[in-house]
Each structure stands twice: as C-alpha cells, then as structure tokens.
Amino acid sequence: MNKVNLKIESLNDIVRILKANIPLFLIITFIVIVSFISSINGEFVSDDLPGLVRLPLTQDLNASFATLDPQRIIYGLTFAIFGLKPAPFHSVSIILHIINVILFFLITYNIYGKKIAAFAAPMYAVHPVVSETVIWISALNYQISTLYLYICIILFLLYKKTSQNKWLIAMYITFAIMSFTFSNYWVLIIPFFIAGLDFFILERNYKLKPLLKSLPLLLVGLAAFLLIRGGSAVTDRVDRLNTPDATPYINRIPYSIYHATELFLYPKNLTIYHEGVILTDQMYAFMIAVSAVVVFSTFILWQKKKTRLIGGMIILIFISLLPVFSPILVAWMVAERYMYVGTGIFVTLVAMFFIFLGKKFKIKELALILTSLLIIIYSGRTIARAQEWKTRKSLWLSAEKRGPYSARAHNNLGDVYGIEKNWEKSIFHFKRAIEIKPDYSEAMHNLANTLMQLGYIEEAKVIFTQSIQVNPDLFQSYHKLGLLEYELGNPELAMQYFIRTLEIEPGYAPAVQSIQALQTLQQRNQ
C-alpha cells in the first residue's frame, strides 16, 4: 500500500481548514456542552481534595507560575480569577477538551480525509470513556499531555509533507518544553507514539530508518525524567503499586487488553476503580481468549497490505497505553483516563467502518445516520456518568456498585458517611474495606479515628496500633495514638508518639501543635 497522502502542508492550510469547518466545530461544542454541562456544578472529589483544594500552591499564583508546570499554572490562574469553586475548574476542563477534539479533527483530516474526520471528531467528543478525563478535575494532566501530543503530531505531519526541518525542530522544542516542565510521566509515550504513527500509519512498511527522527524525542524525554523529575515521584508510585500481592505481569496483560477492548466497544461499566469484582477461572479464561483474538487479528491485519492501515491503528491504540503494559507496575491495569488518546483512534476506525458500510450497501447517508445514532447513545451514557461524578457520595456509590469487593471504594464510602455523621454506615464500610483487604492500613486508621470520635478509646487504640504495625510510616496514626495516650493520662507516652510522628513527617502541623500544647501544660504543672 502506498504511503498516506497528507493534505496539510502549511499553517495557512490549517487556518483555511479551521475556518471552513466552523459549523462542525459549533456542533461539536454543542454536543460537548449538552453531554457535560451537568458536571460543571459537581463537587471536588477524590484527588481534587489533596491535589488542589488543600494544596497551598493552588492559592499562590506566583508559586504556581514558578513551577512552570502547566497544570499548576492553570489551577493557580483559575483560583486567582474565580476562587476555590468547582464550576470554573470544570469549565476549563471542558474547554480544553473541545480544543483537543478540534486538534484531533485536524490530524484525522490530514491523514484520513475530511469525511472520516467529520464523523470521528463528534464521536470522540462524547464517547463515554473520555468522560472521566473531562469531568474529573485532577485528570486535567491527561488532557494537557494529549494537547502536547496533538501539537507534536501536527508539527511532525507538516515535516512529513514538506520535508522542511523547521517543523521537526519545532516538534523537538515543543516536546523539550513539555518534558522539562510537565510533571505527568505519561508524556514519555509521545516519542513512542510519534514513531508508531510514522511506522504503522504513515509509512506502513518495514523500513526502520524513518524512526531515527523520533530518537531525539526519546533522548529528551529520558533526560527530563532523570534530571528534572528525578524519578522520585515515579519511584514512590512504583513502591506503592508493586506490593507483594500485586498481580503478576503475565496475568495483567490479558486483563488490561480485555477491559480496554470492552470499554471501547461497550462502555457500560465505567468506574474510577476497575477492581472489586470476583474474577472466576472461567471469566479469566474468556479474557485470555478475547486478548488472544485481538492480538492475533491485529497481527493478521498488519500482515495484509489491504488491511495494514487498520492493523497499524490498533497497534497505535496499544502504544498509547504503553505504561499499562510495563513489566514494572507504573500505572493501574485499567483506567479510563489512560484511554483518552486511544479513544480517538478507536472512533476513527468506527467512522471508517460506517463509511465502508455505506459504500457496500450503496446507501449514501448510512454513515451519517449510524454516526448520529451512536453520538446520541454515547451522549446519553456520558450524561449519566456525569451525574455519578456530581458528588463524592455518588462517585463512591457508583464505584462500590460496579466493584462491590473494592476495598478503596468501601474506604471512601466510610469517609463520606463519616462526614454525614452516619456513624453506623461509616463503620460498616471501613470494616468491609478491612475485611476485603486485611492489610489496608488507611482503612484501619479511618475506622479507629471514627471510633475515637465516638468515644471508644480503647477500641480505637487497638486499631491504631494495628495500622502502624501494618504500615510503620503511617504518621497520622502515631499522632492519634499520642492524643489517645494523653486522654488516658500518659503524657510521656503521648510525647513519644508526637515525636515519632515528626520523625516520619517533619513539620506535620497537628503534631507540632500537640507538642507545643503538651510542653505548655507540663511547664504550668511544674
């Protein structure tokens, strides 16, 4: 098969195409607003609380700019203009999603033509799998990394069309800026994605020489990772994910392939935690079978010249998920936010299939009809998912519904019910989390803290002690034990716990205040 005939060769072409397709972009904006508008007044949830609401950096605009991190800068600017209200942060996310969809349209137009792009872009805009990335404020980093990816692709395609090195240099500079300022390690997929795009989509042959153009990207990414990011955050994440009970690598692969395939084709079971379901031998065998079919079919499609483009696109989807397939766990096995880029490739395949059906059955408007129906279905599911993201309670209830054996979902529900002072349900869910995961130190801490608030001092003391036996670095439990010992009339032991807290977490304000208060009381009693 011949190389792809790219349609765009200058910035003027881009401007011309953008102007010519304004009606389409208005339609895309409309369906995005309809699908996501209910999320605008949603609460801060999950990682939004420690990573945005409680983070002092958010409220310091100068400090936000000093990080050079685009996510932190957006947070700082949004807070400076609108204050700490969820709606502006959600609105920024929706606007960025629309921008990404328009860039996606340009890329798809350039490679596959206007018709495919016109059908694929609206489907991409409202596919239920992208809802997590758009609705969850803390997932903004995945949108930002995608924005950078799309800009790099556009620059690379201009280079491929014109052979002008200025576009290649512009891509290198863009990626270097991103690599040395942006903290999301998912940007490291960009060199592999660009190489995959060139090899599997644009060239579609076995020549490796063109891949050398992507080598500087990889070197820049590695340099940024080693010199700037230092790997400390990733090291912490690796330590947290690679526990003794972590799923073996060979078992993770079919699980990840199956669930990615399922979510693309039938995005019903959307959840922040893709866990907590009993996996029977029969179900796992089915996952292996589906994964084998996907891998084998992709290989066959790539081998045949007539279908090589389709095979290459499927391979590119898996390249967009590379961290998921790392032998060392650096990411969860499944997460919808990881699939933001891959969803665009998937809907492009769907658009190509609909157009094929229209030609096969000689029905001129069949592709348009099928696309419109699918957009309506996608929008309905996305609207329903937006409702589940509205509050912390609705989010964790949906997670528990789809993953009844998810210890994290139960632990978070315990927190929610604790805030509501529904102590019975709060204690139930904390205990359920521990029952599912007996070494879940955070759930132990939360259960003990709830019992402490209710006045069950001795019971709380036992469970706090168990939590630090499981996790000796859980400094919050040491602090609470100090408070309990003081209540029990053991100030010396209380002081030891407070000091131990600060040894683990220097500067922890509650422990500092407790030591100061205890020292003041001791001085008065002397």
Along the 526 residues of the chain, how does pLDDT read in single tens digits? 446 789 999 999 999 999 999 999 999 999 999 999 999 999 999 999 999 999 999 999 999 999 999 999 999 999 999 999 999 999 999 999 999 999 999 999 999 999 999 999 999 999 999 999 999 999 999 999 999 999 999 999 999 999 999 999 999 999 999 888 887 888 889 999 999 999 999 987 777 776 777 788 888 877 776 666 555 555 566 666 667 777 888 999 999 999 999 999 999 999 999 999 999 999 999 999 999 999 999 999 999 999 999 999 999 999 999 999 988 887 889 999 999 999 999 999 999 999 999 999 999 999 999 999 999 999 999 999 999 999 999 999 999 999 999 999 999 999 999 999 999 999 999 999 999 999 999 999 999 999 999 999 999 999 999 999 999 999 999 999 999 999 999 999 999 999 999 999 999 999 999 999 998 887 777 6
- Nearest-10 Cα torsion for 474, 480, 481, 483: 150
The secondary structure of residue 210, as a DSSP letter, is: G
Which pLDDT score is estimated for 234? 56
For the purposes of burial, counting CB atoms within 10 Å of the CB of 9, is it exposed (0-12), middle (13-18) or buried (19 or more)?
middle
308 CB neighbour count, 10 Å cutoff: 17
User: What is d(CA 224, CA 186) in angstroms, rounded to the nearest whole number?
Assistant: 13
pTM (2 d.p.): 0.94
CA–CA gap between residue 307 and residue 157 (Å, rounded): 22
Sign of CA dihedral 168, 174, 177, 180: negative
Which tokens belong to 69? Answer: 């991190």
Q: For every residue of 426-491, which 3-state class applies, written as one string?
A: HHHHHHHHHHHCCCCHHHHHHHHHHHHHCCCHHHHHHHHHHHHHHCCCCHHHHHHHHHHHHHCCCH
The domain segmentation of the chain, as residue ranges, is 11-270+278-390, 394-525
| Structural Rg of the chain based on CA atoms | 26
Residue 208: the pLDDT is 74
- Residue 77: CB atoms within 10 A of its CB come to 15
Pair of tokens at residue 484:
């309990």
pLDDT (0 to 100) of residue 1: 40
Domain 394-525 has CATH 3.40.50.150: no
Q: What is the DSSP string of 304-365?
A: SGGGHHHHHHHHHHHHTTGGGG-SS--S-S--GGGGHHHHHHHHHHHHHHHHHHHHHTT-TT
